[in-house]
Amino acid sequence: MRIIKINLKTSEIDYFGNKTSHYTEPWATKLLIKSYNEGKIELYGKEKRRMSYITGIFADKNFVGLIYGNFDKVASHWQMILQLYSPRGKFLKESILPGAVTYDDYLLRSFFYSKEKDTLYYLSRKINKDFNDVLEILKYEIIN
């Protein structure tokens, strides 16, 4: 997990990021490659769920936010996690976003950050007991 910060005036490049106990680094396993090449979608998806995926990054003058997803095997859905860093790259905190879940890989990136309101919005997709989709826009205030 690395965030690259480039100073556009000096072209200086800095790297930062914090791998916590929640984060499982993605890697191209032999099974992942083989299942992808052979079009075995079910097996490919199962192998992908063993790893964390960075789904987005956003920033303002006060912080840099990074969102990544982990697959929760017990609940059978992706759970979103937020990390905050100072603008200089110092790790501030990590939080599991309550309720921010999805069952689909393509919805992992369903978020929007409003700088004016210091608010993160996430489109959560759950399935209720009747197996119907429940889509909900969740709102998280970013407190630094």
The rounded percent of the chain whose pLDDT value lies above 90 is: 50
- The kind and range of the H/E element at 4 are strand 3-6
The rounded percent of the chain whose pLDDT value lies above 70 is: 97
Q: How confident is the model at residue 76 (pLDDT cuts 50, 70, 90)?
A: confident
pLDDT in tens, 26-69: 888 899 999 999 999 889 888 888 999 888 999 999 999 999 99
Residue type present at position 114: S
Residue 34 has, within 13 A of its CA and on its CB side, a CA count of 4
Q: Is the pLDDT of residue 107 over 70?
A: no
Q: How confident is the model at residue 106 (pLDDT cuts 50, 70, 90)?
A: low
